[in-house]
Structure 1
Amino acid sequence: MARTGSGTLLSRRNIKLDSFLKRNTERAVYERIRAYEPCVVISETVNKAYMHVVLSDERVYLTEYPPRTLTAAVDFRRVRDIELVNDLPDFLSGKDRERCQHIRVVYVTHKPAAKGRDWLRRDGAGGPPPAAPSSRRTSHCPSIARTLEGHPAERNRTEWRKEEVHISKPARSASCPNPETLGLLRVPHPPGQPPSTAPSLYDPASSPSSPPSPSEQSLKTLERGQVPRRIGSVLSRLLRRDCATSGEEREAELHLYAVSQTSRLYLHLQSSWNSFIIRSTLLLDPLYRRKCSASSDSSPGKRRPAISWERTAHLFAQLSSELLQDGIGVESLYLLLQELRTGAHRSVPLRRLFWRSSEVCVFLVRTLEESLHGCQSLSGVYTADQLLLSTLIVQTLAVMFRETEVEVARLSLLSAKKGALASRMLLALTCDPRLQTQNRGSQTDSELQALLSDYLDAACSLLSELLLLGHETSRCLSADSLLSVGWILRVLQPHPDTLPFVGHQAQQVVLVLSDPRESVLSPAQSVLLFQRCRLLLACLQYNSQLAQHLRSRFREEFRYFVKPSCAEEKLTSRYPISSATLRLVEHILTLMLHG
């Protein structure tokens, strides 16, 4: 699993717990578990119990110490805030009291149904399946688009979209006989649609971004504390009793006390929550959901055997060899990258394989360098092919970062040789947002500007993923450590395009929040605003030069045009990402105006 291995940013593996989880959960659930850690748990139904917290990409589970049952405690779709509390818990003493990390998870409870639905039900109560942004514009480059139909790579891997994952396991371990206390929740499905199996690598029925038709193609872990432990049956009864209590929907809190100086639980919670609210917000887009549910080769309710890790590895190796072959044309490269990106959207194992195979990542960074900067520096202008290919590369890299923060190979690759590859990636994605063309005002210039805007949006998303890694490093080590936020911004600072690039992102925040024509932002616009705000906040907090540039250039625009009340109007409460974005806007305003 992704939690295995050692490293300053990663959790240690607990062989006994890992074996329990593997025996008692379906593979589709097991593969989505990102981290686990022992800590003291306090909630409305659990009082100072020393338990294991198991974290997946959709919810928080609890299990006894040692493990006997696995219970879903909180779904990320109901979380409103995750924060560190600076206190000294009175039930701990000595060093445990001093080094404890107190994490408070604020969430909204279920409003019970008339007959009292069970909180531990198995009906897919989680959030939406993984999702990722899709291209907004069609191709303006016929030289690439015309070769998309009938490409050999797509035909050879048709099983990637035909395979479906069956998650109902026929047998359970004797150590966990009660099926209702297992967190074996089905992979959730969008509202109004029938339940489906877990997403495969290349299945249009479950894909967040199915490949377009030929006419739509475009280049585009913990030392054990002295705390009493609760037995599994007591935990199960307590949690079940909470379900029977009726009442209005309200906020509740889950308190987690990690008594280890090396705890990474808070970081994993924040990362998992951020990833969840992004993909669940994107799924609210009607067009996005239609693409997710489109299926031409599978009938409703039909299930096929799960695609194995071995088969996934074989398909990835096949795709990698085609990507890395000498003399590959730009059209074939674009098609193969489309297939890689689409498969990565659906498969966490594929993303893990990507980081374990360093050649593909290095190849993408080198190709981005050559495509976006090599040719442009010679001619002084961007071309449609450059922008389309560069956008796809950056989108693919951004997807590979999602839900892989506990993958040892990712950290090893990015930190090797003093962060050489990470530095190259940062410098390669930064570009001048001011379009340099030879025929200003022409229709071609307008099309190129649209493609450049698409690239700048994708670059912000990738930089946001890198900054998330930086925040983890900054908290685990120091603000100046390799791969920290401060280090990332120091790498970018000398780049001649960094100031205009960051300025462009700030200007877009102002435009989006001050445009009276936009009453409510779309899901994709909301996600992009969230990512841009994270970038601006990092610049204001961790780099004095970038902070000074932002204040001198945009202080007045933020003072007069960016209002929390206006932002609240544009960010509908239906979007899971809205409350987090509003907090970012308020923080940015404080630093921008009073910093």
Structure 2
Amino acid sequence: MARTGSGVLLCRRNIRLDSFLKRNTERTVYERIRAYEPCVVISETVNKVYMHVVLSDERVYLAEYPPRTLTTAVTFRRVRDIELVNDLPDFLSGKDRERCQHIRITYVTEKPAAKGRDWLRRDGRAGLPPVSPQSRRNSHYPTITHTSEGYPALSEEVTEEVHVSKPTRSASCPNSETLGLLKVPHPPTQPPSTPPSLYSPASSPTSPLSPSDHRLDWKTEPGQVPRRIGSVLSRLLRRDCVDSREEKEAELHLYAVSQTSRLYFHLQSSWNSYIIRSTLLLDPLYRRRCSALSDSSPGKQLPAISWERTAHLFGQLSSELLEDGISMESLYLLLQELRTAAHRNIALRRVFWRSSEVCVFLVQTLEESLHGCQSLSGVYTADQLLLSTLIVQTLAVMFRETEVEPARLNLLSAKKGALASSMLLALICNPEIQTQNQGSPIDCELQALLSEYLDAACSLLFELLLLGYEASRCSSADNFLSVGWILRVLQPHPHLLSLIGYQAQQVVQVLSDPQESVLSPVQSVLLFQRCRLLLACLQYNSQLGQHLRAHFREEFRYFVKLSCAEEKLPAHYPISQPTLRRVEQILNLILHR
């Protein structure tokens, strides 16, 4: 899938479906549709129906064939796993049966809380208000409906027909630009009640007691429950309501009848992007960085910048960056502006890859800054580390959600991957810093700056590995940027083993440190990225895998426990479960091979 500057789909374009999506979705949603493919769909309410699968940043949609309505099949908030199944479906025959790609999406649904309060009301306890009819109407009950063409629309969490006209906040990704909202083709139905934001204190059923909860207040009116007892009852009531909404697993099966289908990669990539973005958005500082709100008009969003305006502004910034004799201070400030704008504007990230000059300039500047002076003096300076960290962070942001931009792959694979090779080798540095004054305040500052750089380097390596996973699953001979190729490029670097060892040591330290009770959203995302990096080394490069087993087997055996990892990764972080699965995979590969 690719788009022109205006967002029109180019590769494998279905004109009828594309026209339908453009007419019936908001512009911000249409421009962020990543891919669509025809598939045979099997779910709890759809059985072997040939449909369009439409993929956006937050949801998997289904549309009839030909398209008449658009329904939500599953939201990435509910997804637990996406995997390829090696089987031959019985309902297909001939070549279709042999070349079919079976994708299984495992997700969770939520049972309605129908009996959450009955146990209290049966005893006739005072002070507990009855459930009003309005609250019943607002309850989150899944329903099964049928479209006018006879296709069953899936249940509220499985597939709901989308007729929402006003943007609402997503519980785990409060970014209005990523919501899957449609224009209203006819009068809207009443939307389901929105759960509280995950980072809101009110959403936690186990929030700590307030000071008043620890005091008994006997000055109550007749028939009222004392404050102490009331607080206990309210906690029990909340716990009972949570228990009554037990989650159950469900599956969505997509059968792509094409050997060249890239739907699986797009699903994995979109899911990774979603869990990273929605987890980071739980961090207040990251939310402010990505916010597109005007300081002069609190609560009002700035109008969307057109593609043409974005390209013009990027051109102006690029010309300033590429000026001869630019000072380090000016360069740093311009890169800060570029990074902040890229966080907020996905169109800017796509424009970035369509102009090779800035990317090449950043890679060359990184190489000169991090390795030029250091190779002569043997030490890093604070200015070197600050500028190098900003460059690597900027490059990592540019990779986010730009998988469908063909210019990115063309640029990185040109001249047999010359730019990709330069980027990989430029970001590797010696994690063991050398200073003349060990233990001094300057030394501590440099250690902190180096740690920040190594975190950024891990994030960029993670993005490059995602690019490699796409190539590894692609049958095209032109796409050689596989995970194995990336690791082979890095293997001769003298500091690679030290860097990989540092990343492994950080995983061990984070998961075994008793003082680090709960990881922050940013720490959780970094742990996920480090685990993916270690898994790539263990699965795709024998030398790196052998190094990790030889030097870190005992650390992982005695200090890394899944039970401890579960305590450190809050359950409401979207990235927690995928990270736990990666930790389990690493333990199996290091300890049992």
Do they fold alike, i.e. is TM over 0.5?
yes
Task: Give the corresponding residue for 2:343.
Answer: 345
Secondary structure of 1:471's partner?
Answer: helix
Q: Deviations over 1:259-297 (max 9, x none)?
A: 100011111000110111111111222444466669662
Task: Give the corresponding residue for 1:138.
Answer: none
Task: Give the corresponding residue for 1:14.
Answer: 14
Shift of 1:347: 1.0
**Pair 168,366 (structure 1): closer, same or farther in 2 beyond 3 Å:** closer
Task: Give the corresponding residue for 1:160.
Answer: none
Shift of 1:416: 0.3
Supply the distance in 2 between the matched residues of 1:592 and 1:429 (Cα, whole angstroms): 26
**Pair 292,192 (structure 1): closer, same or farther in 2 beyond 3 Å:** farther
**Pair 4,64 (structure 1): closer, same or farther in 2 beyond 3 Å:** farther
Supply the distance in 2 between the matched residues of 1:337 and 1:487 (Cα, whole angstroms): 30
Q: Deviations over 1:331-372 (max 9, x none)?
A: 111111111111111111111000001111111101101110
1:500 corresponds to which of 498, 501, 518: 498
Task: Give the corresponding residue for 1:141.
Answer: none
Answer yes or no: is the 8 Å Cα contact 1:464–1:534 preserved in 2. Answer: yes
Answer yes or no: is the 8 Å Cα contact 1:105–1:255 preserved in 2. Answer: yes
1:575 corresponds to 2:552: no
Supply the distance in 1 between the matched residues of 2:374 and 2:449 (Cα, whole angstroms): 15
Supply the distance in 1 between the matched residues of 2:102 and 2:180 (Cα, whole angstroms): 36
Answer yes or no: is the 8 Å Cα contact 1:130–1:346 preserved in 2. Answer: no
Answer yes or no: is the 8 Å Cα contact 1:76–1:127 preserved in 2. Answer: no
Question: 5+ unaligned residues in a row in structure 2: which ranges?
Answer: 114-135, 143-155, 202-243
Shift of 1:67: 1.4
**Pair 25,480 (structure 1): closer, same or farther in 2 beyond 3 Å:** closer
**Pair 104,248 (structure 1): closer, same or farther in 2 beyond 3 Å:** same
Of 104-113 and 414-423, the range deviating more from structure 2 = 104-113
Task: Give the corresponding residue for 1:39.
Answer: 39
Task: Give the corresponding residue for 1:557.
Answer: 555
Q: Deviations over 1:55-110 (max 9, x none)?
A: 11111111111212222221111111111112211111111111111111111224
2:260 corresponds to which of 259, 262, 267: 262
Task: Give the corresponding residue for 1:78.
Answer: 78
Amino acid at match of 2:49: A
Please give the residue correspondences for 1:231-380 in structure 2 after superposition, counting only pairs within 5 Å: 248-289=246-287, 297-380=295-378
Task: Give the corresponding residue for 1:100.
Answer: 100
1:24 corresponds to 2:24: yes
Task: Give the corresponding residue for 1:124.
Answer: 168
Amino acid at match of 2:335: L
Supply the distance in 2 between the matched residues of 1:166 and 1:101 (Cα, whole angstroms): 28
Please give the residue correspondences for 1:93-492 in structure 2 after superposition, counting only pairs within 5 Å: 93-112=93-112, 114-115=136-137, 117=140, 119=156, 120=160, 122=164, 124=168, 126=170, 128-129=172-173, 177=186, 248-289=246-287, 297-477=295-475, 482-492=480-490
Secondary structure of 1:48's partner?
Answer: strand
Shift of 1:169: 10
Amino acid at match of 1:339: E
How big is the alpha-carbon RMSD for the aligned residues of Structure 1 and Structure 2?
3.0
Secondary structure of 2:434's partner?
Answer: coil
**Pair 348,2 (structure 1): closer, same or farther in 2 beyond 3 Å:** farther
**Pair 92,498 (structure 1): closer, same or farther in 2 beyond 3 Å:** same
Shift of 1:13: 2.2
Q: Deviations over 1:567-592 (max 9, x none)?
A: 11211211111111111111111111
**Pair 63,87 (structure 1): closer, same or farther in 2 beyond 3 Å:** same
Supply the distance in 1 between the matched residues of 2:267 and 2:182 (Cα, whole angstroms): 31
Task: Give the corresponding residue for 2:531.
Answer: 533
Supply the distance in 2 between the matched residues of 1:433 and 1:466 (Cα, whole angstroms): 20
Task: Give the corresponding residue for 1:236.
Answer: none
Answer yes or no: is the 8 Å Cα contact 2:199–2:282 preserved in 1. Answer: no
Supply the distance in 1 between the matched residues of 2:520 and 2:556 (Cα, whole angstroms): 22
Answer yes or no: is the 8 Å Cα contact 1:130–1:345 preserved in 2. Answer: no
Answer yes or no: is the 8 Å Cα contact 1:62–1:71 preserved in 2. Answer: yes
**Pair 40,414 (structure 1): closer, same or farther in 2 beyond 3 Å:** same
Shift of 1:16: 2.3
Answer yes or no: is the 8 Å Cα contact 1:4–1:408 preserved in 2. Answer: no
Answer yes or no: is the 8 Å Cα contact 2:96–2:257 preserved in 1. Answer: yes
Amino acid at match of 1:66: P
**Pair 323,293 (structure 1): closer, same or farther in 2 beyond 3 Å:** closer
Q: Deviations over 1:223-253 (max 9, x none)?
A: xxxxxxxxxxxxxxxxxxxxxxx97432221
2:541 corresponds to which of 543, 549, 555: 543
Of 313-322 and 303-312, the range deviating more from structure 2 = 303-312
Of 553-562 and 427-436, the range deviating more from structure 2 = 553-562
**Pair 368,406 (structure 1): closer, same or farther in 2 beyond 3 Å:** same
Shift of 1:192: 5.6
- Does 1 or 2 have the higher relative contact order (CA < 8 Å, sep 6+)? 1
Secondary structure of 1:52's partner?
Answer: strand
**Pair 560,167 (structure 1): closer, same or farther in 2 beyond 3 Å:** closer
Answer yes or no: is the 8 Å Cα contact 2:290–2:340 preserved in 1. Answer: no
Secondary structure of 1:572's partner?
Answer: coil
**Pair 302,557 (structure 1): closer, same or farther in 2 beyond 3 Å:** closer
Of 476-485 and 490-499, the range deviating more from structure 2 = 476-485
Supply the distance in 2 between the matched residues of 1:381 and 1:309 (Cα, whole angstroms): 44
Task: Give the corresponding residue for 2:61.
Answer: 61
Shift of 1:48: 1.1
Amino acid at match of 1:124: T
Question: 5+ unaligned residues in a row in structure 1: which ranges?
Answer: 132-163, 194-245
Supply the distance in 1 between the matched residues of 2:305 and 2:172 (Cα, whole angstroms): 21
Amino acid at match of 2:583: V
Supply the distance in 1 between the matched residues of 2:103 and 2:314 (Cα, whole angstroms): 38
Answer yes or no: is the 8 Å Cα contact 1:337–1:393 preserved in 2. Answer: yes
| TM-score between both structures, scaled by the size of structure 2 | 0.79
Amino acid at match of 1:329: S
**Pair 29,481 (structure 1): closer, same or farther in 2 beyond 3 Å:** closer
Supply the distance in 2 between the matched residues of 1:513 and 1:471 (Cα, whole angstroms): 26
Amino acid at match of 1:39: C
**Pair 191,508 (structure 1): closer, same or farther in 2 beyond 3 Å:** closer
Secondary structure of 2:47's partner?
Answer: coil
Secondary structure of 1:84's partner?
Answer: strand
**Pair 554,17 (structure 1): closer, same or farther in 2 beyond 3 Å:** same
**Pair 462,180 (structure 1): closer, same or farther in 2 beyond 3 Å:** farther
**Pair 178,493 (structure 1): closer, same or farther in 2 beyond 3 Å:** farther
Secondary structure of 2:53's partner?
Answer: strand
Shift of 1:409: 0.2
